[in-house]
Structure 1
Amino acid sequence: MIFGLISQELHEKLLDLKNYQNRTNGVEQLKNILFGLDLKPVPSDSIVEFINFLRRLLDDSNFKVLYGTLQVINLLIQKLDYNVDTYFKQLACVALKTLGDTRAVTRNEYMNVFRQLTRIVGPQKVLDLVIGHLRHKNSRVREDVINIITAAMLTHPRKDFNIPSLCFEVAPYLADSKKKVRHAALELFAVFDHCLDTGKKQPLMKAVNRVELNGDVEGLMAAVQARRARHILPRLSSDGMVEYALVIPKPGQRCSPQFGSGADLEWVLNGGRISSARSIRTEPDSDRLYHGYGSLGSLVDDLPLQRRIVSAGKGKNKLPWERSSLPSTVNTQPRSAPKGKSSDQMISFPWSSL
C-alpha cells in the first residue's frame, strides 16, 4: 500500500497478474479515488512512491490498464497543479516510456502529459528531459519527441526556448532513415525559421549545413529552403495534436496537384542521398506563432557576402539563393495582439486551461 493514496486491497488488485479484470477495475477505482482526493496532506515521499508505482502499471500488457494509468498521470498533474514542479522530472520520465505507441488515443494521452507539464513548469525544462529520446532506436519515439517540441513551440512564446540549441539537436533527424521522422523534423524547422528573426537565422543554417556536409546527404538545405518558401506553419488540432502543413501522399497514392511538388516533398519521400545505413546520429522575443508567415527574410541573411553555401556532394544543383534573381517573399501581416495584451502572449488552445 501507499500511505494516503492506495489501500492494501487496491494495491493487490492492481498487481493481480492472474486476473486482468481486477487490474482494469482497479485502475478505474484509482481514478475515482484520485479525483476526489486532496493531495495537500499527502506526504511527498508517498507521491514519489505513487509515481514509481504508476511506472510499474505502464508495463501492463493490457491496453485498458496502460491507457487508464496514463489518465491517472494526467489527473495527478492536474491535482498537483503548481506543486508539480517538485515531481515533474519523475512524471516526465514515466511518460517517456510510453512514447511510440501506434494507437491514437494512447498517443493523445501521453502527449497531454507533456502539454500539461510544459504549461506549468515551462517548456524548455521539460524539453531538456525529452530531447535525449531523439536517439531512441524506435522511429515512432523519435517522431513523438519532435512533435512534443513542435507542440510546445506552437503554444509558448519563443523567448521560453533555447532555439539555437534545439536547431542543432533536431537537425540530424532531417536526414533520418524513416520518412515520418524526416517529415516531423522538416515541419519543426519551419517553426524554427519563423521564430528566428531576419538576420538571426545563422544557427538554423549552420545546423542544416553541418548535417548536409558531415552526413554526406545532398539536397537537404534545398529541401529546408523549399519548405520555408511555402509560408505556412504546422498547427495544433482541437485536441492539441500536431497537424503538418506539408501534406505527403500515402503509400500507393499518386502525387496529385493537392500535394504540390518541390524539394521538400521529394526529400520527405526519398530522403536525398544518404550514406551507409541512411540514418544519422549526432551527438529573442516576438509574437505568438500564427498559421502563416509574415516577412521572414532570407535564410542567408547571416552569411558573409563572399561566402557561398553549396550542397554537399558534387554540388551540381544551385540552391534558390544562388540564382541571379529571387522571387520576392510574400508579405503577410501578422495578426495584431488583443487589446491590453502584449504580442508575445500565447494564443489560448482548448487544452491550455487544463
Structure 2
Amino acid sequence: MRVVRAVTVNPGVTDSLRLTEDHPEPASEEGAILVESLAIGICGTDHEIIAGHYGDAPPGTDRLVLGHESLGRVLEDPTGTLQPGDLVAGIVRHPDPVPCPNCAVGEWDMCRNGLYTEHGIKALPGFARDRWRVQPRFAVGLDPALAEVGVLLEPTSVVAKAWDHIERIGHRAEWQPRTVLVTGAGPIGLLAALLATQRGLAVHVLDLASTGPKPELVAALGATYHCVPVNDLDFEPDVVVECTGAPVVVLDVMCKAAPTGIVCLAGVSSGGRTIDFDAGALNRALVLENNVVFGSVNANRRHWDLAAEALARADRSWLSSLISRRVPVAEYTAAYTPQPDDIKVVLDFAA
C-alpha cells in the first residue's frame, strides 16, 4: 500500500502536531481528481486547531490532516474537468448532507444549520499531505503563471466574497463609493486592499505595525498606510473591511463610517472581554445614517472563481511579497511557529 507524508493533529489535544510518514494514500471516495501537493498556506485557524481550541477529525479516526489553503498540480482526472499538469486548489467547505436551503443551491458559505464540513478543519482531511483528491465541483483551476503564489487563493476567496456582498448591499440605493478603510494588514487585510485597488477606490490600511513589511506592501498598492487609532483618522470611509477582530477597532469603525456606509466584519473576535461602550449612540448613528454592518466568512464556488481572476490580474511580485517564509515539510514545526514579521507562511511540499 502506498503512503504519503501528512501533517496531522489530534483535535482538542494540545501539542499533538505531527508529521506522519505513513499516512494512507487518499481514498478514491474523496474525489476523482488526484493532486500532487505543492504548497499549503498557514493561518490563524491552523494555530487555533493546533492549540486544541477546535477542529474535528473525520469519522472513524482521531487524527485530522491539517491544511485548508492549498495549491497542487493535477496528476490524473478521469472526468476531463482538468488536465494533468494543471494548477489547482481545493475548495475548503462542503455543503451539509441535509441540505439546508443555502447549501442546496451551492451557497455552502451561508449554511444555516452548521452541518457543513471543511477540509483540514471540520470532519474532512486537509490538504497538508503529499497527494490529495478532490471532487470536480470543488476543484478550482488556476492560471499557470500563479505557480508561485496560487496558494493565496483561499484567503483571496474570503475577501472576494466580502467584496461581492459589499457591492450587493451598496446597490440598495444610488452608490458611488470612493474611500475604503481596511483595518488589519495581515493576509486577509492586504488582499482586501488589493481587491479594493482593483476597483479603482482610494484605499487606506490601518495596522499597529510601524515597521516591517506591512507599510511597504500597502504603499506598493498605491494605498495609504496608517498607524494610529481609528478615531484619529481625518476622513469617513464609504466602506470598511474590518480584519482584526479586535473589539475596540470593531466598535470604532462602526462609528467612523460615512453616511450610507458599509462595514464588513471579516475578523473573528476571541471574546471574553467586556468594553464600556455607548450602544445607544451607535444605534442612533447606524439608523440615522442608513449604515450597514454585516459579517462575512468563507466563500462559495463563485467567490473562488472571482478570487482566481483577481490573482491573475494582480502584480506577481507583490503577491510573492506576501509570502514571508517557505518552509520545507521536513521542517514543519518551524512553519507552524509564528515569527514577528510573518505575513503568510507556506509549507512547501515541492521543495
Q: Same fold (TM over 0.5)?
A: no
| Highest RCO, 1 vs 2 (Cα 8 Å, sep ≥ 6) | 2
**Larger strand fraction of residues:** 2
**Larger helix fraction of residues:** 1
TM-score range, shorter chain: under 0.3
- Per the normalisation by structure 2, the TM-score is 0.28
Larger Rg: 1
